[in-house]
Amino acid sequence: MFLEKLDFAQMYVEHKKKTVFKGKNSQDWDDKSKELAGTMQHSSYVDEFISRMDIKGDEVVLDIGCGPGTLAIELAKKVKHVIAIDFSEGMLRELKSFAKKEKVTNITTYHMGWDDDWGELPKVDIAVASRSVEVSDLDKALQKMNKQARKACYLTYKVGGSYVDMEILDFINKSIITKPDFWYIPILLYKEAYLPYVDYIETQRGNIKSTNADVFINSLIWSLGGLDDAQQEKAREYFDLYIKDKEAYSKPFTWAFICWSTRKNTTLC
């Protein structure tokens, strides 16, 4: 395939160590769980994701990094059973609350994440990981996900190396090392003789009518890990010029939707 052997798995690991976008811990997501539940539990993204899945209705599905039930609740309405795992107890509480409101009873939750032992989890037909594959070792995570599913795997991963619009970063004079991009995933899968299919889902950044400058600045600090005083002032200026009184951010997020059969050299489509 290549003239010289390239170790993309190690390349990802080294890239991930250097990026400014560091993984959040369980407490970070606990603190964010209620806020995110309000924006993630009902979205067109869910319909876009599920519409791309091959499901018959009798499957058991594993949702890895389930969050507040973004996919798990709607999937549970369409399949036999959903096993939802997350390392944030706050997220699992929000999922259970959401399931109760929706009268969904066929979900089993486990408090665990990518780095935990999955020995107690049963094998499933399908594994999904929606916007949750921010891991230190991507190759290991993909193999772990693949091993758990008999039929297929589906995931989404942010396109581009930044969770913050590069236009904003340029405006506030913030230099970053970007995060690994989605293309690592199909390469690592193909290396193991899986045949991934790649599509794309665009999501709007949501209604920001009630957002104020402080909320905007805090969201940047959350993503980037910090801003100095000058950068915060520039961020406030950017907010006043381009966000204040607007209905939504102009640029959507683009997510790579990647799926593959867990049988080697076999396509899903």
**Together in a domain, 111 and 232:** no
**Together in a domain, 189 and 238:** no
Q: Is residue 48 a part of any domain in this protein?
A: yes
Beta-strand runs (E) in the chain: 60-64, 81-86, 107-111, 124-130, 149-158, 197-203, 253-261
Q: Which of 31, 120, 109, 17 is nearest to 64 (CA)?
A: 109
**Together in a domain, 121 and 241:** no
Count: domains in the chain? 2
Q: What is the pLDDT of residue 209?
A: 47
**Together in a domain, 188 and 56:** yes
Tokens of 65: 């990094």
pLDDT band of residue 44 (cuts 50, 70, 90) is: confident
Q: Is residue 73 a part of any domain in this protein?
A: yes
**Together in a domain, 181 and 243:** no
Q: Is residue 1 a part of any domain in this protein?
A: no
Q: Is residue 231 a part of any domain in this protein?
A: yes
| Domain range enclosing 58 | 8-163+177-205+251-261
CATH, residue 197: 3.40.50.150
Q: Is residue 230 a part of any domain in this protein?
A: yes
**Together in a domain, 126 and 143:** yes
Q: What is the pLDDT of residues 189-227, one digit of tens each?
A: 999 999 999 999 998 765 454 478 998 899 899 889 899
**Together in a domain, 131 and 159:** yes
pLDDT band of residue 40 (cuts 50, 70, 90) is: low
